[in-house]
C-alpha cells in the first residue's frame, strides 16, 4: 500500500484547481489526546492555555478562530486519523485502499508536502497513519533518532519541542515561491502524562489528584508547543494554520472504545488566517466567525481544508464542511458509527 501510494496512481482519479488567491503555505498540526474542556481558551477555570488566549486576543498579525462544538469520530488515534486525513467519513463507507488522502490532495494542487512527527513511524498500531504520512515528499520521525529498526517501533519518548528545528530546517530548504504544506504530528497529551512535558512545566501538582495535575501540565506544555508553531508560521508568512486533536481524553479511562465516554470525543479545533489571507478571503472570515458554534465532526476535515485553502476540486462538497454556510447538519455518531452523540 505504501508503494502504491508513492506511485501516485491515486492522483489521476480527481482534479484540484487553485488560483492566485489559494493558500501558498499551510500548516496542519495534529494534536493528541486533548480534551478541550481542560483548555482555558475554552473556559476551563485554571489557566492552562495562556499563550493561545493571548494569540486569540491579538488580531494585529492574523486572526485565530476556535470552534466550540467539534468532536472526533473515534476514540483512538488510528481509526480517527483514518477518517480525519482522508475523504473517508462516517457517511460514505469508502474503503481505505480506495480513499484519497489529504496528502494526495495537496500534492495534486502542486504543494511540496512535509510530514514531521513525534509519533511512532511504522508499527502494528499505526499502519494507516504511516501510509498517509509516507506519501509526503519529505518525512521526519523523531523516533528515527533512536535507530529503531523493529516493526513494533514505538516512539522515542521525545518532547514535542524536538520538532521546532526540524520544521525550521525543512521550511528553509525550498525555493521561496514553492507552495508548502506541513503536517506536524504531536505526542501532545498522550498517556503517560508525566512523559510529555519538561520539569519546568510541572506547575499543577496537587497531591490529591496527581493524574489530573499531570494532565493539566501536558495541556499547558501543548499550549506552548502549538502557539510556538503558530509564531514560527507567522514569521515565515504562512497563510493558514489548523490545529485539532485526534480525539479527546477521559481522565479515568484515557481513550479507548471499550470504556467510551463523551470526554473522548471532545476536541479543540482552531484555525489561524494571516492578515493578508483574511483580507483576500472576506467570505471565509465571515463563515469562520458565523459557524464557530456549529456542531461539527473532524471526519470531514478533508472538506474543511479545501474550503479554508480556497481549492476547487472535483472532490469538494461544501455540504460536508461544518465551516461552510452550506453545511448539511447530520446527527453525529462516534466509535465506528455505533454510538449516537447528538440526541
| Interaction of residue 160 with Zn ion, rule CB under 5 A | no
Query: b/e map of 44-68 (b: 16 or more CB within 10 Å)?
Result: beeebbebbbebbeeeeebbbbbbe
CA distances for 63 relative to 84, 88, 273, 284, angstroms: 24, 30, 5, 12
For residues 28 to 47, the per-residue mask of contacts with Zn ion, x marking binding by CB under 5 A and - elsewhere, is ----x---------------
Segment near Zn ion (CB under 5 A), from 24-32, 169-177, 203-211, 322-330? 24-32
Measured in whole angstroms, the distance separating CA 282 from the mean position of its chain's CA atoms is 24
| Interaction of residue 263 with Zn ion, rule CB under 5 A | no
CA distances for 139 relative to 63, 100, 135, angstroms: 29, 19, 9
| Interaction of residue 306 with Zn ion, rule CB under 5 A | no
Under rule CB under 5 A, how many of the chain's residues touch Zn ion? 3
Segment near Zn ion (CB under 5 A), from 77-85, 267-275, 318-326, 327-335? 77-85
Residue 164 DSSP SS3? helix
Q: Which cell numbers hold the place of 270?
A: 482552531
Q: Residue 33 Cβ, how far from Zn ion at the closest point, in Å?
A: 5
Q: Residue 184 Cβ, how far from Zn ion at the closest point, in Å?
A: 15
For residues 89 to 128, the per-residue mask of contacts with Zn ion, x marking binding by CB under 5 A and - elsewhere, is ----------------------------------------
Q: Residue 221 Cβ, how far from Zn ion at the closest point, in Å?
A: 16
Q: Residue 269 Cβ, how far from Zn ion at the closest point, in Å?
A: 15
Report how far residue 325's alpha carbon sits from residue 64's, in angstroms, rounded to the nearest whole number.
19
- Subset of 215-254 contacting Zn ion (CB under 5 A): 246
Q: In terms of DSSP H, where are the helices of the chain?
A: 2-7, 50-57, 77-84, 102-108, 127-134, 162-171, 210-235, 275-280, 282-290, 301-309
Q: Which cell numbers hold the place of 238?
A: 504562512
In eight-state DSSP terms, residue 268 is -
- Subset of 264-283 contacting Zn ion (CB under 5 A): none
Segment near Zn ion (CB under 5 A), from 26-34, 123-131, 177-185, 292-300? 26-34
The answer to whether residues 110 and 104 touch, using CB atoms and an 8 Å cutoff, is: no
Q: Which of 18, 35, 77, 265 binds Zn ion (CB under 5 A)?
A: 77
Q: Which cell numbers hold the place of 209?
A: 489528584
Q: Residue 72 Cβ, how far from Zn ion at the closest point, in Å?
A: 9
Q: Which is nearer to Zn ion, 77 or 227 (CB)?
A: 77
User: Looking at beta carbons, which residue is closest to Zn ion?
Assistant: 77
The site for Zn ion (CB under 5 A) is made up of 32, 77, 246
Amino acid at each position: 500500500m505504501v508503494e502504491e501510494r508513492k506511485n501516485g496512481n491515486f492522483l489521476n482519479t480527481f482534479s484540484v484547481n487553485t488560483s492566485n488567491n489559494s493558500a501558498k503555505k499551510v500548516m496542519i498540526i495534529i494534536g493528541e489526546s486533548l480534551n478541550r474542556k481542560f483548555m482555558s481558551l475554552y473556559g476551563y477555570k485554571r489557566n492552562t492555555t495562556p499563550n493561545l488566549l493571548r494569540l486569540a486576543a491579538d488580531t494585529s498579525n492574523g486572526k485565530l478562530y476556535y470552534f466550540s462544538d467539534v468532536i472526533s469520530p473515534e476514540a483512538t488515534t488510528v481509526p480517527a486519523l483514518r477518517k480525519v486525513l482522508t475523504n473517508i467519513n462516517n457517511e460514505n463507507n469508502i474503503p481505505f485502499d480506495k480513499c484519497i488522502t489529504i496528502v494526495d490532495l495537496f500534492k495534486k494542487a502542486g504543494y511540496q508536502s512535509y510530514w514531521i512527527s513525534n509519533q511512532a513511524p511504522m508499527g502494528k498500531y499505526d499502519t494507516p497513519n504511516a501510509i498517509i504520512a509516507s506519501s509526503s515528499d519529505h518525512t521526519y520521525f523523531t523516533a528515527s533518532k533512536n535507530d529503531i529498526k523493529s516493526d513494533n517501533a514505538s516512539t522515542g519518548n521525545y518532547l514535542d519541542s524536538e520538532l521546532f528545528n526540524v520544521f525550521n530546517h525543512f521550511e528553509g530548504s525550498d525555493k521561496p515561491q514553492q507552495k508548502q504544506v506541513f503536517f506536524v504530528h504531536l505526542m501532545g497529551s498522550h498517556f503517560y502524562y508525566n512523559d510529555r512535558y519538561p520539569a519546568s512545566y510541572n506547575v499543577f501538582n496537587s497531591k490529591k489528584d496527581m493524574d489530573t495535575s499531570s494532565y493539566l501540565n501536558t495541556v499547558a506544555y501543548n499550549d506552548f508547543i502549538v502557539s510556538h508553531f503558530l509564531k514560527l508560521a507567522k514569521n515565515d508568512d504562512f497563510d493558514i494554520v489548523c490545529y485539532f486533536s485526534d480525539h479527546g481524553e477521559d481522565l479515568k479511562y484515557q481513550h479507548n472504545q471499550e470504556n467510551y465516554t463523551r470526554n473522548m470525543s471532545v476536541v479543540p479545533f482552531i484555525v489561524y488566517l494571516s492578515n493578508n489571507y483574511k483580507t483576500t478571503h472576506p467570505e471565509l472570515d465571515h463563515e469562520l466567525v458565523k459557524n464557530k458554534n456549529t456542531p461539527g465532526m473532524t471526519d470531514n476535515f478533508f472538506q474543511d481544508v479545501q474550503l479554508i485553502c480556497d481549492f476547487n476540486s472535483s472532490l469538494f462538497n461544501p455540504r460536508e464542511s461544518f465551516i461552510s454556510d452550506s453545511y448539511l447538519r447530520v446527527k453525529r455518531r462516534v466509535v465506528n458509527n455505533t454510538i449516537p452523540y447528538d440526541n
